[in-house]
Structure 1
Amino acid sequence: MDKIGYMNLATLFYVYDPMCSWCWGYKPTWSFLEEQLKQQFPQLAIEYRLGGLAADTDELMPEEMEDFLQQTWRKISQQLGTQFNFDFWVKCQPRRATYPACRAVLLARDVGLEQSFYYALQQAYYLEARNPSDDATLVEIATELGMDSEAFAIALNSELTQARLLQEISQTRRLPIQGFPSLVMALNGELILIELDYKNAQTSFNQIEKLMQEVVIDS
């Protein structure tokens, strides 16, 4: 376990990428786990952290990558029962670029809509065959959530937003993660990787429950 400056605090980091298909598969379990943790441990802070799968590019996704991702979707569907709309691969021009979606989520975080934007983006991508690598799709989602679409569109590709994203990715990669999604708990100055079970929230809950007994309270 690594040291980190979170003394006397309990924080659970949910590490993800908005376009990570395994994060989509984990969504029902994570939503249930998150709600249970909030009810049982209100003193536990839960923070979302972006990992950043793929940097910006205007190049179309190579055919080999398309095949690999479609196979991944099928694997997740078979293992977890997750729904995917494969029309995406026909209707859209896929690019291996998740940084635009990550920047969009950062802007949504600024107005308290990170989770709403994240889940709306997943819906758009996996069920509605809309491309979250395209700025137009991200602006549409922002508009649907009542955000200032003009300000959002300007900030989406600004140097400041990109710098913020790169800083967060750098910080996230110092966590003891094992891909996306990952759960990491910062507890009394230590970083602990939480076991993640895609089908059973209880696995992670039991580990977190045990760790919460070790929370140090400042007197």
Structure 2
Amino acid sequence: MHAPRIFYIHDPMCSWCYAFSQSWAALQRDLPRNIEIVYLVGGLAPDTTEPMPPATQKMVQQAWQRIEQTVPGVHFNWDFWSRNTPIRSTYPACRAVLAAKKQRVDAELEMIRAIQSAYYQQAKNPSLPETLQACAHEIGLDVGTFIEDLKSPAIESELQRQMQQARSLDVYSYPSLRLVHNNAVFPVAIDYLDHRTMLDEIKKQALKTTA
């Protein structure tokens, strides 16, 4: 029988995933040791080189404002909007996370953090390959291998697999948490402010399904 698994479905360029970082870190710290954590990239926005339409820019900026108003300690570098031509494309950043993991398993989380830092703190654009290459260099990856992997069929196939798995867990927004145990799937409500509500829910469901 499988140990319980928590699937964390995210996108490295999702501002709400960034806002969830502290609560998620606290939850992972306190989770029972027998619960396995699995990351899935959900793929928020497909490949494009077109500039982000003004209406979409406004929508993303409103999300940033709402996060700053509701999640203590989370701030964005608003220079992003004046320094860059925003592009609504997160698949390249998702592939970067998968390419990092292919080189070194623990680089998956390092790449997520590097992309979030580049985007939200340094006002750089992770839709661009040069930003992703700089992130790879920063976390100590072989950049040449990373560039090759980024455009490889294997990484594209893994991206599609993870996105399909996210859909099979009935996930269409990010961040999302799913507890999978004894062939049952339980949605866990995201709490940006207090990880203990999620922890209690996970423990309750895990106990219930083993009973």
Give the TM-score of the pair, scaled to structure 1.
0.91
Partner of 1:197: 191
Partner of 2:37: 46
Deviation string 1:21-66 (CA, Å, 9 cap, x unpaired) is 00111111111111111xxx11110011110001110111111111
Pairwise CA distance, 1:159: 2.4
- In structure 2, the gaps of 5 or more residues are none
Q: For 1:15, give the aligned amino acid.
A: I
Partner of 2:60: 69
- In the TM superposition, 1:131-210 aligns within 5 A as 131-177=125-171, 179-210=173-204
Are the equivalent residues in 2 in contact too, given 1:8–1:215 (CA < 8 A)? no
Partner of 1:4: none
Determine which of 10, 19, 24 is the counterpart of 2:4: 10
CA distance in 2 between counterparts of 1:204 and 1:120 reads 26
- Identical-residue share of aligned pairs (%): 38
CA distance in 1 between counterparts of 2:112 and 2:118 reads 10
Determine which of 76, 84, 90 is the counterpart of 2:76: 84
Are the equivalent residues in 2 in contact too, given 1:186–1:192 (CA < 8 A)? yes
Aligned length in residues: 208
SS in 1 for 2:159: helix
CA distance in 1 between counterparts of 2:91 and 2:188 reads 26
Give the TM-score of the pair, scaled to structure 2.
0.94
SS in 2 for 1:136: helix
Q: For 1:127, give the aligned amino acid.
A: Q
Q: For 2:5, give the aligned amino acid.
A: T
CA RMSD in angstroms comes to 1.4
Are the equivalent residues in 2 in contact too, given 1:176–1:184 (CA < 8 A)? no
Determine which of 83, 90, 111 is the counterpart of 1:98: 90
- In structure 1, the gaps of 5 or more residues are 1-6
SS in 2 for 1:130: coil
Pairwise CA distance, 1:9: 2.6
Partner of 2:120: 126
SS in 2 for 1:183: strand
